[in-house]
Chains A and B, each alone.
Chain A
Amino acid sequence: MIRVTLPYHLRLLSKVGSEVSLELEGPVTQRAILDALEARYPMLRGTIRDHQTKERRPFIRFFACGEDWSHEGPDAPLPEAVASGREVFRIVGAMAGG
C-alpha cells in the first residue's frame, strides 16, 4: 500500500483527506504513483503533470524520505520505505508567489 499526500488545494479538488492510499502493481515509481492517482481521481489529471507530455508542472515538487525527488526520472524506483508504505510520498505545491 502506497501512501500519498496532496497539497491543500488538490485535496479539496479531489475531495480526499490528508492522505491517500493506493495499491500498485510492479515497480513503485513516480509515474506508477501518478498513473494510479489519476485513475482513481480523474479530476487531478493536468494539475500535477501535463496531460500530454506527462512532465511535472513547474511549481509541483515530489518529496519522500526527507529528499526532493522532483528532478529524478519518472521511472526511477522510489525508496523501499515508500514502496512498503512506511514513508509517505508527498506531492507538494512549491513555495512561490510571494
Chain B
Amino acid sequence: MSSVRVLVGTRKGAFILTSDEKRANWQVSGPHFAGWEIYHINGSPADPNRLYASQSSGWFGQVIQRSDDGGQTWNPVGNQFAYEGETGTHQWYDGTQHPWGFTRVWNLQPSLDDPDTVYAGVEDAALFKSTDGGQTWRELPGLRSAKGHLWQPGAGGMCLHTILLDPSNPDRIYVAISAAGAFRTDDGGQTWLPINKGLKSDYELPDPDADVGHCVHNLAMHPSRPGVLFMQKHWDVMRSDDAGGLWREVSGNLPSDFGFPIAVHAHEPETVYVVPIKSDSEHYPPEGKLRVYRSRGGSEQWEALTNGLPQKDCYVNVLRSAMAVDRLDSCGIYFGTTGGQVYVSPDSGDHWQPIVHDLPAVLSVEVQTLP
C-alpha cells in the first residue's frame, strides 16, 4: 500500500506527518530541531529517504541537516554559503546600493536524478549547488548578473524562494526572487534570463513593466508540461505557456488576487490551486473565510473549496512554500497556516480535514508519495 510523508517546516522546528494512502489517520513526528526556524525540508525524488532541511536561527545562523533514513536520524552537513567573486550590491529599501550578505536558506531543491545534488535558494538572493550531499556549496553566480543591482528586498527579505527543475531538460531551471522576479537558465545555471514580460506591478514599481523588480511570490509547474508556468505574484495570478517568455493574468473571479502559494494538481496539468489573502497589509483570508480556490481546464474561473475549512473568524496566513500535492491516484492537496494547522484534502480539494491543529507557524510543506 502506498503512503505519504508530509514534511513541515515551522518557526520552531520540523514535523513529519505520515499516513497510508487513505490519508485519514496520521502519525506525527517532531519537533525535530526544536526551537529553530525550519524554512524548508524537502526530499530527493531519486531517493525518498534522503531529506534535506534548512535550519536557521537569529542567534546561531544557518545549519543544513541531512537525513538518509527518511527523517528518523539527521546529521548536519555543510553550512558555508560564500558568494562567488566580487560580492556586489543590490538596491536597498531606501534606494541606495547595499552589499550582498547571506542570511539564510529559503529553499532546498534536490536534483531529480541524483540524491547528492541539491540546489539552495538563499537570502540575499542567490542560487547555490551542492554535488556532495550538502557538504560543500558553490554559488551559480550568473544569476546575480541578471541585473542584480536592481533587485530589492521584499518585506520578508531579498530571498530566492522558489526553484523549479525541468524534468525534460536538465539544463533548464526556473527560480523566483522577491522582489526581483522570475528567471530562467537554459545552460545549467551559467547564464540567466529575466522572464517577467507581461507582469504588471502598478503599485510596487515606478515602471510597472520593468525587466526586474517584480515581487513574485511563488511559481508552479506540472512535470508533464514544463513549459507551462503558473505564478502567484504579490498581486495577480499569472500564467505563461512559453517557459516564461510572456505572462498573462488569469486571476478571473478570485475574491483577491493577492496570495502566496500556488500549486498544480498531480494528474491534471490544467488544474491549479491558490489561497487568496485579503491584501498585502492584511495578511489573512478575505471575510475571515479560509478558502482554497481551484481553476480547472485552464479556465480563469475559480471555484471556492470550503468543505472542512473554517468559514468564520479565521485570520491565519498561508505562506508561499506552505502548499503541496501528493501523487496518489486521488490527488491529495496540503497546506499549512501561520496558525499552526496543516490541512489535507485527499480528493483534489473537495473535502478538507486538519492533520494537526496546533503546530508553530508553518513556513513550508512538502509531500513525498512513497510506494
Contacts from A to B (Cβ < 8 Å): 7, 9-10, 13, 43, 45-48, 51-52, 57, 59-60, 93-94, 96-97
Contact = CB atoms under 8 A, between A and B. Distances in A.
Contacts of A97: 58
A39 B79 CA distance: 15
5 contacts: A45-B80, A46-B80, A48-B60, A57-B59, A93-B60
Given A9-B35, A9-B36, A47 B80 contact: no
A46 B58 contact: no
User: 9 smallest A-B Cβ distances: which pairs?
Assistant: A43-B76, A47-B60, A59-B59, A93-B59, A51-B80, A46-B79, A46-B61, A47-B61, A9-B35
A45 B59 contact: no
A37 to B, nearest CB: 14
User: Which of A13, A48, A52, A94 lies at the interface centre, i.e. has the most chain B CB atoms within 10 A of its CB?
Assistant: A13
B82 interface: yes
Interface of B: 35-36, 57-63, 76, 79-80, 82
Contact of A45 (B35, B36, B79, B82): B79
B59 A51 contact: no
Contacts of A10: 60
A45 B80 CA distance: 8
B82 A47 contact: no
Determine the main DSSP class of B at the interface with A.
loop
A13 B76 contact: yes
A94 B80 CA distance: 23
Contacts of A47: 60-61, 63, 79
A57 B82 CA distance: 16
Contact of B59 (A7, A43, A46, A52): A7
A7 to B, nearest CB: 7
A70 to B, nearest CB: 13
Nearest to B35: A9
Nearest to B75: A43
A57 B76 contact: no
A37 B58 CA distance: 21
A30 B175 CA distance: 41
B63 A43 contact: yes
B76 A51 contact: no
A39 to B, nearest CB: 15
Contact of B60 (A9, A51, A52, A96): A9
